[in-house]
Amino acid sequence: MESVVRLEDVSVHYYTFTGVVKAVDRVTLDIPRGEFVSFVGESGSGKSTLALALLRLVPPPGRIVSGRIVFNGMDLLSLPEQKMRELRGKSISMVFQDPMTSLDPVRKVGEQIADVYIEHGVTTDMEEALKLAREALEMVGIPGDRVNYYPHQLSGGQRQRVLIAAAVALKPSLLIADEPTTALDVIVQAKIMDLLEDLMKELKMSVILITHDIALAAERSDRIAVMYAGRVVEYGPVDAIIENPLHPYTRGLLESAPDLWGEKRIKGIPGNPPDLRNPPRGCPFHPRCPRRFDPCDKDEPEYVKVDDRIVSCHLYTR
Partner 1 sequence: MSLVHEVIVVSVLLSVRGLKKYFVQGGGILGGEKEIVRAVDGVSFDVKRGETLALVGESGCGKTTTGRLVLRLLEPDEGEIIFDGVDITHMSMKELRPFRRRMQMIYQDPYASLNPRKPIGEAIAEPLIVHGLAEKEEAKEQAMKMLERVGLTPAEDFYDRIPSQLSGGQRQRVVIARAMILKPEFVVADEPVSMIDVSMRASILELLKGFQEEYGLAMIFITHDLSVARLVADKIAVMYLGKIIEYGPVDKVLRDPRHPYTAALATAAPSITMRRRKRLDIKGEIADPRNLPSGCRFHPRCPYAREDCASREPELREMGDGRLAACHYPLEEGFLKRWLKG
Residues that bind partner 1 (CB under 8 A): 42-43, 155-158, 185-191, 212-216, 218-219, 242, 252-254, 256-262, 264-270, 272-273
Rg (alpha carbons) of the chain, rounded to whole number: 20
Residues 6+ apart with CB under 8 A from 145: 134
Nearer to partner 1, 259 or 299 (CB): 259
Task: Say how far apart CA 143 and CA 2 lie, in whole Å.
Answer: 37
Provide, rounded to whole angstroms, the least separation between the CB of residue 144 and partner 1.
18
Nearer to partner 1, 125 or 259 (CB): 259
Contact between residue 114 and residue 125 where contact means Cβ atoms under 8 Å apart: no
Provide, rounded to whole angstroms, the least separation between the CB of residue 262 and partner 1.
4
Provide, rounded to whole angstroms, the least separation between the CB of residue 183 and partner 1.
9
Provide, rounded to whole angstroms, the least separation between the CB of residue 233 and partner 1.
13
Nearer to partner 1, 61 or 262 (CB): 262
What phi and psi values does residue 211 have, to the nearest 5 degrees? -155, 155
Task: Say how far apart CA 318 and CA 311 lie, in whole Å.
Answer: 12
- Side chain identity at residue 202, one-letter code: E
Residues 6+ apart with CB under 8 A from 240: 307, 308, 309
Nearer to partner 1, 236 or 252 (CB): 252
Provide, rounded to whole angstroms, the least separation between the CB of residue 238 and partner 1.
9
Provide, rounded to whole angstroms, the least separation between the CB of residue 79 and partner 1.
35
Nearer to partner 1, 19 or 270 (CB): 270
Let me know how long the chain is: 318
Provide, rounded to whole angstroms, the least separation between the CB of residue 85 and partner 1.
35
Provide, rounded to whole angstroms, the least separation between the CB of residue 227 and partner 1.
13
Nearer to partner 1, 21 or 55 (CB): 21
Provide, rounded to whole angstroms, the least separation between the CB of residue 143 and partner 1.
13
What dihedral angle (degrees, nearest 10) is formed by the CA atoms of 41, 42, 45, 50?
50
Nearer to partner 1, 70 or 188 (CB): 188
Nearer to partner 1, 61 or 258 (CB): 258
Q: What angle do CA 64, 211, 133 make, to 5 degrees?
A: 85
Task: Say how far apart CA 167 and CA 175 lie, in whole Å.
Answer: 8
Residues 6+ apart with CB under 8 A from 222: 32, 35, 36, 37, 237, 238
Nearer to partner 1, 17 or 261 (CB): 261
